């Protein structure tokens, strides 16, 4: 009986549950990377330290001393794969299209909806000769955005993450929007 209890205890402790949660922080970072690439925005340069040479040396020695006494704990950072042939193709297409969309963003003809997709804000404000082009560009961009979200979810082996990826991108499209662009907030159009 003791052996059976011991065996049962070992089996119970051997059971491990691994919960895989949506990596929200990694998704935001991935979204920012993709959006900035599409819009060809270079990241801002990091500010240089205001310390002189001897202060930097002293800080490095202090850091090394502390690291000898206190060991660091390293958790594996969640990562989101944003590189696959399908993702590269979609990013390339969206980057090429952005040059055509940019003028319409600036003119205020199009804006970013709360779901992250584009919309023509007021079709009557768009000159008649440009209306079809604007509508076609918006439809193509929205189709590619939805395909991109699904491709990212698939590349990470979690097709069920597509709604979370879409929600993350929706926020990041607005955050990365340039000044003067329009976006939806609370059902109303707001200019950034």
- Tokens 């060991």 locate to 71
d(CA 192, CA 29): 21
In tens, the pLDDT along 29-41 reads 999 999 999 998 6
Q: What is the CB neighbour count within 10 angstroms for residue 92?
A: 12
SS3 78: coil
In tens, the pLDDT along 111-120 reads 999 999 999 9
Confidence of residue 48 (pLDDT cuts 50, 70, 90): low
In tens, the pLDDT along 127-146 reads 999 999 999 999 999 999 99
CA dist 84 → 54, 90, 91, 152 (Å): 46, 10, 10, 8
């Amino acid at each position: 009986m003791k052996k059976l209890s011991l065996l049962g205890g070992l089996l119970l402790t051997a059971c491990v549950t691994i919960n895989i949660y949506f990596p929200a922080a990694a998704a935001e970072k991935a979204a920012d990377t993709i959006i900035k690439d599409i819009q060809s925005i270079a990241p801002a340069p990091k500010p240089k330290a205001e310390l002189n040479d001897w202060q930097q040396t002293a800080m490095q020695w202090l850091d090394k001393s502390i690291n000898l006494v206190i060991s660091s704990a390293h958790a594996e950072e969640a990562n989101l794969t944003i590189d696959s042939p399908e993702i590269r193709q979609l990013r390339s297409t969206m980057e090429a299209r952005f040059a055509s969309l940019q003028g319409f963003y600036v003119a205020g003809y199009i804006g970013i909806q709360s779901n992250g997709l584009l919309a023509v804000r007021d079709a009557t404000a768009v000159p008649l000769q440009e209306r079809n082009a604007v509508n076609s560009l918006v439809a193509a961009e929205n189709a590619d955005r939805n395909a991109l979200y699904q491709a990212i979810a698939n590349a990470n082996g979690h097709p069920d993450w597509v709604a979370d990826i879409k929600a993350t991108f929706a926020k990041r499209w607005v955050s990365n929007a340039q000044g003067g662009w329009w976006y939806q907030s609370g059902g109303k159009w707001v200019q950034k």
